[in-house]
Amino acid sequence: MGIPESYVQARSQFRASAAGAGAEVFSYAQPDMTGLDGEDLSIDLALFGSPKAEQAAIVFAGVHGAEAFCGSAILQAWLAGGPPILPDGVRLVLVHAANPRAFSHMTRTTENNVDLNRNFRTN
């Protein structure tokens, strides 16, 4: 599979890998923005384990756009091994393209020039 060459390719490959590994796959469209080539943007999630789990492990990929290609490839390689083995009471949430606009446009920031890795609310 390798490192994807575009946001669209990465998203398609991630969703296919997640579904192939038996994940529940959800997409959260970002209707107020478009990608570099006018494509629709979404934040995609792959969930494993019980929805009633008391704890969750959350893995983000794609906070910084230019780094998202590698993060996407890592998630896909992980999913190629099949469903992850989780301890009882733990749900795994994989977040693909946490910042889809930056992923598509290959920038570090959101549409408002905010770096999500350094600017977030703690309350």
Please tell me the predicted confidence (pLDDT) of residue 81: 92
d(CA 123, CA 113): 21
Please tell me the predicted confidence (pLDDT) of residue 45: 98
What mean pLDDT do residues 103-109 have?
87
- Cα torsion 34, 68, 118, 123: sign: positive
What mean pLDDT do residues 41-49 have?
97
52: DSSP letter: T
3-state secondary structure of 94: strand
pTM: 0.89
d(CA 17, CA 44): 12
Two structure tokens written together for 35: 């990608």
What mean pLDDT do residues 12-34 have?
96
75 class by beta-carbon count within 10 Å (0-12 exposed, 13-18 middle, 19+ buried): buried
Please tell me the predicted confidence (pLDDT) of residue 123: 67
Whose tokens are 């959101």? That residue is 110
